[in-house]
Chains A and B, each alone.
Chain A
Amino acid sequence: DAKTTQPTSMDCAEGRAANLPCNHSTISGNEYVYWYRQIHSQGPQYIIHGLKNNETNEMASLIITEDRKSSTLILPHATLRDTAVYYCIVHNYGQNFVFGPGTRLSVLP
């Protein structure tokens, strides 16, 4: 019962912004949008999360549409080290995370 839909793969040029989309049309009002990434051979790494408002931290920005049915993770200046699988997760507080297949982002020199 996948709650999110992400493209299988994306490419981005080094130094450019990487915009990773996620559709979550069935999200409920109390569910958060979480983003994690997994660099090859490492554990998943937390990036950012949000409920309704756009969020920004030192790693990325999260833009959530007004109807909350989709969101975009933005890496403002992608580097080669940002090559990873990016997971968008819709999560209800207190429940378990369910990881889908994610988007494989390749940052190209």
Chain B
Amino acid sequence: DAGVIQSPRHEVTEMGQEVTLRCKPISGHNSLFWYRQTMMRGLELLIYFNNNVPIDDSGMPEDRFSAKMPNASFSTLKIQPSEPRDSAVYFCASRGGSTDTQYFGPGTRLTVL
């Protein structure tokens, strides 16, 4: 069982550039979550999908952020254009079965210069 897979693990980019973060959930899980973690705000939910459909995107900071889930095994979180305040660790988590337990990936550390 490979767990939730995220790529890249680290990303350094310049302000104004487009950033795409990727996530592969655990096989068979039907819910996927994107979180952001900063020292100031802690761990925050950005958006979550159920059966590939976005259910709640109220945590997405602004229009520069977008997320997609084209199929059950892949999701992306895109920031365009990126800003220094987007620097954070972004986690993906997935959930499946009869419990609400979420399983987190290792995260992507994003630095926007």
Does A15 lie at the interface of the complex (its beta carbon under 8 Å from any beta carbon of B)? no
Chain A residue at smallest Cβ distance from B100: A93
Contacts of A42 in B (CB 8 A): 106-107
Shortest distance between the CB of B19 and any CB in chain A (Å): 19
- Using CB atoms and an 8 Å cutoff, list the residues of chain B in contact with chain A: 4, 33, 42-43, 45, 48, 56, 91, 93, 99-107
- 25 residue pairs A–B, Cβ–Cβ below 8 Å: A41-B107, A42-B106, A42-B107, A43-B4, A43-B91, A43-B93, A43-B104, A43-B105, A43-B106, A43-B107, A44-B93, A44-B104, A45-B104, A46-B101, A46-B102, A49-B99, A49-B101, A93-B100, A94-B100, A96-B45, A96-B56, A97-B45, A97-B102, A98-B45, A99-B43
- Other contacts beyond A42-B106, A44-B43, A99-B42: 19, CB < 8 A: A32-B100, A34-B101, A41-B107, A42-B107, A43-B4, A43-B93, A43-B105, A43-B106, A43-B107, A44-B93, A44-B104, A46-B101, A91-B100, A96-B33, A96-B48, A96-B56, A97-B45, A99-B43, A100-B42
